[in-house]
Amino acid sequence: MKQYRIAPSILSADFARLGEEVRQVIDAGADWIHFDVMDNHYVPNLTVGPMVCEAIRPHATVPIDVHLMVQPTDRIAADFAKAGANMISFHPEASDHIDRTLSLIRDHGCQAGLAFNPATPLHYLDHLMDRLDLILIMSVNPGFGGQSFIPEALNKLRAVRTRIDAHRAKTGREIRLQVDGGVKLDNIAAIAAAGADTFVAGSAIFGQPDYRTVIEAMRQHELGEEVLTVRNDEITLAEIAALNPTYLCLSPGPSDPHHAGITLEVLREFTGKLPILGICLGHQAIGAACGGRVVRAQTIMHGKTSEIETDGKGVFTHLPRRFKVYSFILNRF
């Protein structure tokens, strides 16, 4: 199952208390800490160097992801690796020899990535996919934080996702697809749908009073969850547990839940541990597992409807202000 990563960029943090900011955002659920490194040469801004990475390393219990916007790249890449970076990405235009820079990063024990500006073509990937652990798509022009997302980046994300999926099908290797620039609550769902799995966010997180609330909103309400559909007679309890699911949704096919594979075993094993939703005949299974007496409804009670009027916000953003919901009731205890 696809795992999303939220990587807050310290470019938007309070530098007067950077160590505290890093600890707080990790406690709030950040998966990575993202460094935007600028040299006032490749881009017109100057930010942080390896010494800051070394100072932050003891405070970071998650991987440190370094994005180099510098030229040349090799010396500074090696210095960041020694300072405690876990992933280092750079721009192909900034390297005299891309393959050599990738090898240098990997030889220092780090994962290696390539970063693409909005106008940078993707042909650099033609012969480098087997050398990459990460591909970073810039959705703003690099140099400053707080910029607006460039919508054309969605097409580039889709194109790279196609390449990554083809490479994984051929080799079994995973390559992360990261996006950086203008990522916020109101666009992260579209960005995820385009194929990104790792999201750099600066002011969208550090500009908020409660880091945990915004990270959870990004991860759950906007990203949603990947849905894995499996026949209930073709999976074991151990295999379900190994997937580490967030929710379970049951919709057994047979008319009798006792004939629906391991459905009842799943309920007995995971009730109280995970939220479990029953759809249609899944209601019967939940009733049976809880000791209820399952009987057929006297009539098929499809069609009971309720009308809901929403505020058009949050989870209702893309729904009509007024719509109907249908209740399906096929069991009683």
Q: What is the distance between the alpha carbons of residues 258 and 165, in angstroms, rounded to a whole number?
A: 39
Cα 229 from chain centre: 20
Q: Are 194 and 158 in contact (CB under 8 A)?
A: yes
- 36 as an active site residue: the answer is yes
- 14 as an active site residue: the answer is no
Start-to-end C-alpha separation, the chain:
36
Q: How many residues does the chain have?
A: 333
208 burial (CB, 10 Å; 0-12 / 13-18 / 19+) is middle
Catalytic residue among 65, 133, 180, 197: 180
Amino acid at 150: I
Q: What is the distance between the alpha carbons of residues 37 and 287, in angstroms, rounded to a whole number?
A: 57
Q: What is the distance between the alpha carbons of residues 149 and 160, in angstroms, rounded to a whole number?
A: 18
Q: What is the distance between the alpha carbons of residues 308 and 296, in angstroms, rounded to a whole number?
A: 29
Q: Please compute Rg for the chain using Cα positions.
A: 24
18 burial (CB, 10 Å; 0-12 / 13-18 / 19+) is middle
Cα 88 from chain centre: 19
Enter the tokens of residue 170: 């051929």
Catalytic residue among 36, 39, 133, 197: 36
Show which residues are catalytic.
36, 180
